[in-house]
Amino acid sequence: MQCGYATLMNLNEKLQAEDGTEKADVTYFQRMVGGLNYLSHTRPDIAFSVSVLSRFMHSPTKHHLGAAKRVLRYVAGTVNFGIWYTTVSNFKLFGYTDSDWACSLDDRKSTSGYTFSLGSGAISWSSKKHDTIALSSSETEYIAATSAACQAVWLRRVLVDLG
C-alpha cells in the first residue's frame, strides 16, 4: 500500500461518545461517513468500521473524525479492492458470521456481522449492533448465529425460487 493504512481501525482503540476531545464539524463528519456508507455497498471490508462511525453522527469529536479519516486513507490505499465475480459452474452458498462481546463502551452492547458468498463473490453482508445487552460471549455468538441463519434461510428460498 502506497498511501493509507493496512487496517481500517486501530485494533486497540475503542470509540465512545465522550472521549475527552473537542467536538468536530457535524456536517463535515456526516458527509464523510455518508459517503463511506454508500461505498460500503461495494466494499464489504469497510462495513463494520462505517457502522461504528455511524454511531457518532449526531455529536462527533475530533477523535471520531480521525477514525473516519483513517478509513478514507485505507480506501485510498486499496482502490483495487472490491467484489469481483467470475464464471463459476458449481454454485455453493457459503456463510460466515462473527461477533464481539460488549464492544461498545457507551452501552455495553455487542456487534455481530455475517457475509454470504455464492460462487465467486459475496452476495450479502451485514454488520449490526445488537438490540439487547448480552450477558456472556456465548450469548453474543448465539445472537450472531441466529441473525446469520435467518439470512441463510431467506437466501436459500430466493435461490429455490430462481431455480
Give pLDDT tens digits for 50-70.
Answer: 888 988 898 899 988 989 999
Residue 34 has pLDDT above 80, yes or no: yes
Residue 17 has pLDDT above 80, yes or no: no
pTM attached to this predicted model: 0.69
- C-alpha–C-alpha distance, residues 93 and 156, integer Å: 8
Nearest to 126 by CA among 62, 28, 50: 50
Under DSSP, the state recorded for 123 is: E
120 or 149, greater pLDDT: 149
Average pLDDT, the chain: 84
